[in-house]
Amino acid sequence: MPSLASVEAYLERIGLAGRADAGLGEIHRAHATTIPFENFDSFSGTPVSLDLGDLEAKIVGRRRGGYCFEHNLLLASALESLGGIEASPLLARVRLGPEDSPRPLNHLLLRVRDRDGAVWLADVGFGGGGLLDPIPFESGVESDQSGWHYRIVEDGPELVLQVFQDGGWSDMYGFVPEPAEQVDIVVNNWFTATHPESPFVTGLMAGLRSLERCLSLFVNEQAVLVERPVGGESVITEVPLQDVPALLASRFGIEGVVLHDEHLVLRSDR
């Protein structure tokens, strides 16, 4: 992976200023609980660049969020820039929700080897319900992350990341544990960001993790806020469209959204 132009600026962005000695787990949790998930670029018709300089300018410099391709490629470069940590991107098919047809490879995660040689699944780009911490890259090991529970299971040639919620294990996504070629990452990112039927084009999504709750916002015909407290069930609340900009700023840390002619717009300076 290419190196960041300023690893110090990245560490400041995730609340670890001056902590070049931080390890994988600390960096992962800081990133996951600081930088929001959001798809304003694809929703507004702006192509999503995976160039590292563009990712740094957007997420670190302008303090924006992004979706999985952006989050995890930025994390991979940050980890390797700090030295002694190797990160390889993998592509996955999301399994949450009804599976009435095959899904595209529109999720990116990381296989990471830390400074001690241990191998982990790292993923800071799954939105409001994703991992807080890396999980051991092996089947059958349950990970308790401040009360949130995750595990990896085998399903034929795929590994599947699962989350324990509502009294049982639910699939999040499945993937073949082989590094993805850059050309495949670019093609799948392009599909995700530009295809007219992609949910990242047809609707607006935002998400943010904290130790206490998963927080997600979906805006299609209406706006819906989904909150899941640790150990509890999801609470779903409809939100008036005119209240969404203030909600994004106060709960997700996403500034600069305005309502214009009944459409949510991100100011050009953001």
Active-site residue list: 68, 107, 123
Nearest to 206 by CA among 168, 173, 250: 250
Enter the tokens of residue 190: 């392009």
Other C-beta atoms closer than 10 Å to the C-beta of 266 total 21
Q: How far apart are CA 198 and CA 196, in angstroms?
A: 6
Helix (H, G, I), strand (E, B) or coil at 215: strand
Residue 93 to residues 159, 161, 167, 181, 203: CA-CA distances in angstroms?
11, 11, 24, 16, 19
Distance of CA 210 to the CA centre of its chain: 13
Q: How far apart are CA 44 and CA 259, in angstroms?
A: 13
Q: What angle do CA 206, 67, 115 make, to 5 degrees?
A: 120
Helix (H, G, I), strand (E, B) or coil at 114: coil
Helix (H, G, I), strand (E, B) or coil at 202: helix
β-strand partners of 259: 264
Nearest to 12 by CA among 71, 96, 91, 78: 78
